[in-house]
Amino acid sequence: MNNDAPETLAAARSRAADLEQQLKLSDEGVSRLAQRCLELEQQVLNYQAALARHGSDNEPAALTLPQLFYDSGSGYSPRECLTVAEDAYDELTHEVSAVFTLPTDARALRLDPGELACCVTDLSISDERLECRAMNGIQLQEDCLLFLDVDPNLTVRSTVPFAAGMKFAVTYHYYPLGRFQHEQPGKALLSALNTIKLQAEAEKNDVLEQLQAALAENTRLNNQLAELQSSRAAYEDSLENLYESSSWRLTAPLRALRRLLRG
């Protein structure tokens, strides 16, 4: 058994070297997957920019202004709607800034950012208890919504009741698509952008799953390598203790004789 100790240690070292090589390859795979995720993120940003570039500055002012509908018990209607002044929308920067105060208690709120198919970005609401969610739009990114149909709607959710006197400000950038959305090749381009966006998101999710799997494999290899290194250290300690033991020194002549007989 003692004569096998050096061979066992050599095997452990060889196995450790193999695991270190596997770990290196795993690290390279993780890096490639992370790079692909960054590329897909950039694609989504490019799609957002392409949509924003096709905004129109020549739409009637009323169609580019936000409206807040409140349901006091009989559903949404034009009678229960808050509007804003024309200067709420800056045509040069496409920024919208509006302040609303509820005149009565409401069961639900709906924010219409405008009356046109549009792209809405950087949506922010001053009251942290409130949150806007797209009802008939497509979320391109966390801060970018695409509405391909007229009359875009956002539902307003709250952690507290919508009480009379509740006041909050809403800001966002509004890029109306105008005629571009209804004419060729604009209509086809928007449809293609949306399809590509969905495909990019699907591919991104797939890559993220692969990345998670690669990270898990990386962790497994690290753990296995640590265990093997610990075993190797134990072998080395055991071998060192063996060489330093009195029994090893006392049996040295016998081992020498055995080697002579084998030779």
Does pTM surpass 0.75? no
Residue 144 near residue 157, CB atoms below 8 Å? no
Task: For residue 160, name the pLDDT band (cuts at 50, 70, 90).
Answer: very high
111-120, 224-233, 240-249: range with highest mean pLDDT = 111-120
131-138 mean pLDDT: 89
Residue 113 near residue 154, CB atoms below 8 Å? yes
98-112 mean pLDDT: 96
Residue 235 CA to its chain's centroid (Å): 46
Which is more confident, 57 or 16? 16
**Distance between CA 135 and CA 111 in Å, rounded?**
10
pLDDT of residue 190: 63
Residue 122 near residue 94, CB atoms below 8 Å? no
Q: In sequence order, what are the residues at sequence separation of 6 or more whose Cβ sits closer than 8 angstroms to the Cβ of residue 214?
A: 26, 29, 30, 33
123-142 mean pLDDT: 89
pLDDT of residue 4: 44
Task: For residue 209, name the pLDDT band (cuts at 50, 70, 90).
Answer: confident
Q: 9-23, 121-135, 214-228, 249-263: which range is least confident on average? A: 9-23
Residue 54 predicted with pLDDT over 60: no
Token pair, residue 56, equals 């129109």
Q: Which of 132, 179, 134, 181 is nearest to 157 (CA)?
A: 132
